[in-house]
Structures are given as structure tokens and as C-alpha cells.
């Protein structure tokens, strides 16, 4: 017998037929004698609809400002998961399974006060553990918790992944299965590279890099939690027949295992290629080269919750001036420009420029730590395709390259082939 947390995303619970299919997946594990908790997202498209209602309400009411109270935003958008958890509990009960729905505040999942993008602080898993021990399936509404103001707080888009991993850690689950519309983690996006391969295993560190660099299989925060608490996590497809051979395998079910590096015997030099489109580049020209100038630039951007990524600094020949170039997500360009202009006197730049439509392509692999020439292979492969490199950043296990967006798919295919990831 094992303790398993199963998470199902929006496409997996998009309608009543798919909710019934999810119930069959859950029944399979219950019939095998496992203790089971399930975390669900809102039905596909429902969160977008609820967010739209929140955003449109001030307009309809004739308000002069489009802004709204984030606490009420959370009260509205959290209702999507509440509906799904209740429906799945009913489906399980209809199949003769003892099940009960849970909202985030009932567990409780304690969060900070950042409504709309809260972080989990603590989970008391004792009641769920007791109920599972009595044979009851806990069906938990993902994406939500209870803030210090005793109001519902949501965890940001994709937060149900984080809910599932956090609950798995709290109840000391043997594994956490993330069911989605793909059957695992691939070496790159199979829509771009048909020869992309599904990986059997990937380390927490590699998955964290892949998720943060554009791979949309898991939310970044969920991978961070899994790594910290060493929660063995499987990415699986909810569209496989629940009763197909191997689906109930406790040790090696179909999908991709995200685990500690020590579990991976044969480590590839490069594990995968990630990419993020819609990157934007901002350049500050002729900034005074003095102590504290970087803090004057990036401090206000951080306070405005703008995520800065690649940073390149070019110092003039006499050392008196510098050009500072960095990237931000496309959606943050306008806000970033406003922040920089409002801090121009403190920073001391002559002009600020921005360019959109760029792409960040990244090479990821824990094997890079012990192999030379990985970066050179990427640069040579891109040069042969006449793809110009705008900026480069590196870490122990990844190389990120900024290029023009028009070459994104060509770059992904080129690098995937250059490192032999096309080979089965």
C-alpha cells in the first residue's frame, strides 16, 4: 500500500465525461489498496471566464479606474476549483467510493497575504491523513489557500500544481502524480520537433530550469517545492485508458519521473531544449559607471515585481560610462519603461530603448557540470544556420541564448539535433 496524491489539470476535467474518466483513474488506485488524495483545477476555460468577469465588472459599473480589490478577485476565481472538487467527489461517490471535497481553507492551506499570487507557508495534513487512513478519498480544490486575513488567497496561474506537491509533502506521500494533456516531459516541444523524445526520468534541477525557461508542463513553484521536500513526481496523461496495462504500476507507471539526481544512473550531457517567446530587451545608454548604479536600476524594477532575466553590461573605453541591457517578459515592457523613466535622475542614463519580438532558447543538462565544449557546440550550430546571438547567460546546468523571434523554431530544431537528442 502507498500514499498517493493525484492532480488533474483543467483539460482533464473539462466536462462531466472527462471528470468521470478522472474518477476511473482514482478508482484504479483505490482498488489497488492505496491511500489517495486528489487535487483538481477548474474546468478548462473557467478561470479565464471568471477573470474576465472580474476585469469587466468595474467597466460595467462605470468606474473611472479599471482596478479591483485583489481579495475579491480571489473570492471569484477560486470558485472554479470548488465546483470541480464537488463534481469529482460526486462522481466518485456514484462509483461506490468514499470521497469528500475539501477547499483550501478547510485543510487549512496557510498562505501569505499576496492575494492573486500567494505563496504557501504551511499545511496541516493531519486531518487528511486521518481520513485517508479511514479509506476516504480527499478531493482538494487546488490553486487556493487561506491568507493571514482569513480570506481565500489564490496561488497564481498554474497554482494547482503547487497545491498538489505541497499537499504531497504535508501528508508524506510516496509520490505525486501530475495528470495533464501530455504523457510526460519531452526533450523539447514535440510540436516543433517531431523527433522529440519523452524522458523516463529528469532531475529536479533540470525540470526547474526547463519550467523557468519556457517549458509549460509544470509551474516553477511546484518544482521548487518538490525539490526542497524531495517529492517524487510523475507527469502522466489523463487521456490514457485508466485500465490500460501498466497504468497501475506503483514503481514505474507510464510518464516521466521527476526525482533526485541520485536516482538517475545514466546522466545525459544535455537533457532538453527549452524556449520562451515574446521576450523583450531594454537598453540603457551611457549610464554613469559608479557604485550603486545597478541597484538604482534593478531595485525599482524588483519592487514593481518585474522579472529581469539576461543582463549584459558594456563599459566604455575610458570607464566613465556603461550601457546596460537586460530582458523582461513582453507583458512587462510598458511597466518597466515607466519605472525607469520615473527613476531617471537616480540612475543617470541618456536614453532608454526597447525591442520586442525576441526569443530565449536554452540548453539544459546536469551533465554540463563535467563536460567541456557544450556552449561551443551551440554557438557553432547556430552560426551554421546564420542565427545571430544577441545575449548569452550560463549557469552550471544551462546555457540561455537570446535571438530574434523569427528564428526561434529553427534554433530549437538545430540545437535539438546538435546534441543528438533526435536519436532514440
What residues form the annotated binding site for substrate? 47, 81
- Residues contacting residue 85 through CB under 8 Å, at least 6 positions apart: 40, 101, 102, 103, 139, 140, 141
* Beta carbons within 10 angstroms of residue 3's beta carbon: 17
Q: Report residue 336 as a C-alpha cell.
A: 518597466
Which residues define the annotated binding site?
7-10, 47, 81, 180-181, 186, 191, 216-217
How far is the CA of 216 from the CAs of 42, 158, 243, 363, in angstroms? 17, 9, 27, 16
Q: Bridge partners of 279? A: 329, 358
Q: Report residue 406 as a C-alpha cell.
A: 523569427
Maximum C-alpha span of the chain: 79
How far is the CA of 245 from the CAs of 249, 254, 256, 356, in angstroms? 9, 10, 17, 48
Among candidate residues 345, 14, 421, 424, the one with its CA nearest the CA of residue 192:
421
* Beta carbons within 10 angstroms of residue 84's beta carbon: 27
Q: Give the three-class secondary structure for 273.
A: strand
CA distance 381 to 377: 6
CA geometry: angle 278, 414, 380, nearest 5 deg:
105
Which residues define the annotated binding site for ATP?
7-10, 180-181, 186, 191, 216-217
For 134, what's the count of Cα atoms within 13 Å in the CB-facing half-sphere? Answer: 11
Among candidate residues 6, 412, 14, 368, the one with its CA nearest the CA of residue 215:
412
User: For residue 7, which phi and psi values (nearest 5 degrees)?
Assistant: -120, 135
User: For residue 128, which phi and psi values (nearest 5 degrees)?
Assistant: -65, -40
Amino acid at each position: 500500500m502507498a500514499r498517493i496524491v493525484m492532480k488533474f489539470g483543467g483539460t482533464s476535467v473539462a466536462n462531466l465525461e472527462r471528470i468521470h474518466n478522472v474518477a476511473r483513474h482514482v478508482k484504479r488506485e483505490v482498488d489497488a489498496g492505496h491511500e489517495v488524495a486528489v487535487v483538481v483545477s477548474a474546468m478548462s476555460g473557467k478561470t479565464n471566464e471568471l477573470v474576465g468577469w472580474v476585469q469587466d465588472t468595474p467597466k460595467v459599473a462605470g468606474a473611472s479606474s479599471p482596478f479591483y480589490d485583489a481579495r475579491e478577485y480571489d473570492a471569484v476565481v477560486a470558485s472554479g476549483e470548488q465546483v470541480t472538487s464537488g463534481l469529482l467527489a460526486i462522481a466518485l461517490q456514484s462509483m461506490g467510493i468514499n470521497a469528500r471535497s475539501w477547499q483550501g481553507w478547510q485543510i487549512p492551506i496557510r498562505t501569505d497575504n499576496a492575494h492573486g499570487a500567494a505563496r504557501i507557508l504551511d499545511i496541516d495534513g493531519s486531518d487528511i491523513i486521518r481520513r485517508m487512513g479511514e479509506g476516504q478519498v480527499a478531493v482538494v480544490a487546488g490553486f487556493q489557500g487561506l491568507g493571514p486575513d482569513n480570506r481565500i488567497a489564490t496561488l497564481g496561474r498554474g497554482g494547482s500544481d503547487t497545491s498538489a506537491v505541497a499537499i504531497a509533502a504535508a501528508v508524506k506521500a510516496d509520490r505525486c502524480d501530475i495528470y495533464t494533456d501530455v504523457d510526460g516531459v519531452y526533450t523539447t516541444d514535440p510540436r516543433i520537433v517531431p523527433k522529440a523524445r519523452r524522458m523516463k526520468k529528469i532531475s529536479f534541477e533540470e525540470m526547474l530550469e526547463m519550467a523557468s525557461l519556457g517549458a509549460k508542463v509544470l509551474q516553477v513553484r511546484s518544482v521548487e517545492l518538490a525539490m526542497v521536500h524531495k517529492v517524487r513526481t510523475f507527469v502522466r496523461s489523463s487521456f490514457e485508458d485508466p485500465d490500460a496495462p501498466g497504468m497501475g504500476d506503483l514503481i514505474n507507471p507510464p510518464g516521466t519521473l521527476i526525482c533526485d539526481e541520485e536516482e538517475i544512473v545514466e546522466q545525459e550531457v544535455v537533457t532538453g531544449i527549452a524556449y520562451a517567446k515574446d521576450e523583450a530587451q531594454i537598453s540603457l545608454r551611457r549610464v554613469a559607471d559608479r557604485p550603486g548604479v545597478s541597484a538604482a536600476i534593478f531595485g525599482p524594477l524588483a519592487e514593481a515585481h518585474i522579472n529581469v532575466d539576461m543582463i549584459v553590461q558594456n563599459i566604455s573605453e575610458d570607464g566613465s560610462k556603461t550601457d546596460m541591457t537586460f530582458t523582461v517578459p513582453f507583458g512587462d515592457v510598458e511597466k518597466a519603461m515607466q519605472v525607469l523613466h520615473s527613476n531617471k535622475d537616480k540612475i543617470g542614463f541618456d536614453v532608454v530603448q526597447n525591442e520586442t519580438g525576441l526569443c530565449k532558447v536554452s540548453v539544459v543538462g546536469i551533465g554540463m557540470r563535467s563536460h567541456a565544449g557544450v556552449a561551443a557546440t551551440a554557438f557553432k550550430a547556430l552560426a551554421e544556420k546564420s542565427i545571430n546571438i544577441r545575449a548569452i547567460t550560463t549557469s552550471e546546468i544551462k546555457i540561455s541564448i537570446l535571438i530574434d523571434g523569427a528564428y526561434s523554431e529553427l534554433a530549437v530544431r538545430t540545437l535539438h539535433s546538435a546534441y543528438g537528442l533526435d536519436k532514440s
